[in-house]
Amino acid sequence: MPVMSYIQAITTALKEEMQRDENVFILGEDVGKKGGVFRATDGLYETFNEARVLDTPLAESAIVGVGIGAAMYGLRPVAEIQFADFIMPAVNQIISEAAKIRYRSNNDWNVPMTIRAPYGGGVHGALYHSQSVEAVFANQPGLKIVMPSTPYDVKGLLKAAIRDNDPVLFFEHKRAYRLLKGEVPEEDYVLPIGKADVKREGTDITVITYGLCVHFALQAAEKLAEEGIEAHILDLRTVYPLDKEAIIEAAKKTGKILLITEDNKEGSIIGEVAAIIAEHCLFDLDAPIRRLAGPDIPSMPYAPTMEKFFMINPDKVEKAMRELAEF
């Protein structure tokens, strides 16, 4: 089985879906000749020509709004927002339009569109190239938000997003692009949107997280295993709507829960995960639910000292996991 990076899995999924279905096309800034600022669409312009790998004007609301129109006509646009931080001008199109079109038209119209955007910090991106924006969209029924953690999941979930008949936000951790590598089958496969995935079986503590933090938790778990602490790790994969069954099952398994996000703590995805556990698992808990998250400051600063302070890393995760295990 070939080993590829997280970003290669994205390019592969895009290419295969464009070959499979002529209605799939890409639009965004610099996605054409340049192949994207991160090179996620590398080679696609040459393979599929300009009409299907469209360089748009620098205008995010138009990228999404035009995508919505094309989707209503029957195409399957994959819009790239260059950085998740720059999705804000398109929020009206995403929340007022894409999310509500099926509902408001009583199932007459729908928007089969995927919006890809790189998120996350740890790359010296400062305030506006580091943010996690999923919580902005995570109370908008009609939207699905996918945040994969491995190259294998990237390929299967991006294909599922493109084939989905509703709008999907697909957030890719930009530091994971070249940091994470893994085996990815050559054959066509899709993974279910809305389903979490157990990334490690364990009996002592449960870690529930998503994105790059899954990788940190897995690293920390190996260290703790040497001390006899076995961590159960659940990767949410889809952060909206949440896989409640999987969350409840994972929480009940050990009764000691650590929730991790790179986002600011208050109002983040893991607050909702904590509420689900509180509602369903109170009498199964052996410790208070713990949360490890970014600080409640507007965004990630540029200076390496402050950036490191903000970012989640394997050491912070290991410390939090050990404390919970010892509770």
Partner 1 sequence: MTTKRHRDLGLTDEQVLEIYRIMLLARKIDERMWLLNRAGKIPFVISCQGQEAAQVGAAFALDRKKDYVAPYYRDMGVVLAFGMTSTELMLSGFAKAEDPNSGGRQMPGHFGQKKNQILTGSSPVTTQLPHAVGVALAAKMKNDPIVSFVTLGEGSSNQGDFHEGLNFAGVHKLPVITMVENNKYAISVPIEKQIASKTVADRAKSYGMPGITVDGNDPLAVYKAVKEARERALNGDGPTLIEAITYRLTAHSSDDDDRLYRKSDEIDEARKNDSMITFNKYLKDTGILTETIEKQINDEIIQEVNQATDYAENAPYAQPEDALKHVYEE
Applying CB under 8 A, the residues found at the interface with partner 1 are: 25, 51-52, 54, 56-57, 59, 61-62, 64-75, 77, 89, 92-93, 96-97, 100-110, 141-142, 144, 164-166
Q: First CA to last CA across the chain, in angstroms?
A: 42
CB of 208 to partner 1, least distance (A): 23
Q: Which is nearer to partner 1, 19 or 96 (CB)?
A: 96
Q: At what angle do helices 269-281 and 244-254 cross, to 10 degrees?
A: 60
Q: Which is nearer to partner 1, 165 or 203 (CB)?
A: 165
Question: Residue 116 and residue 20: Cα distance in Å, rounded?
Answer: 19
156: Cβ contacts below 8 Å, ≥ 6 apart:
189, 190, 191
CB of 221 to partner 1, least distance (A): 34
Question: Radius of gyration of the chain from Cα atoms?
Answer: 19
Residue with tokens 């090179």: 39
Distance of CA 213 to the CA centre of its chain: 11
Q: Known catalytic residue: 280?
A: no
CB of 78 to partner 1, least distance (A): 13
Given the residues 129, 173, 215, 232, the one annotated as active site:
129
Cα 209–134–101 angle (5° rounding)? 130
CB of 25 to partner 1, least distance (A): 7
Question: Residue 122 and residue 129: Cα distance in Å, rounded?
Answer: 10
- Neighbouring CB atoms inside 10 A of 286's CB total 11
Q: Which is nearer to partner 1, 166 or 263 (CB)?
A: 166
Find residue 168's DSSP bridge partners. Answer: 114, 144
For residue 177 the two structure tokens come to 């692009």
Q: Which is nearer to partner 1, 242 or 289 (CB)?
A: 242
Distance of CA 67 to the CA centre of its chain: 20
Q: Which is nearer to partner 1, 63 or 205 (CB)?
A: 63
Q: Which is nearer to partner 1, 67 or 120 (CB)?
A: 67
Name which of 225, 195, 210 is nearest 268 in CA terms.
Answer: 210
- Neighbouring CB atoms inside 10 A of 19's CB total 11
CB of 143 to partner 1, least distance (A): 9
CB of 304 to partner 1, least distance (A): 36
Question: Residue 262 and residue 204: Cα distance in Å, rounded?
Answer: 23
Residues annotated as part of the active site:
129
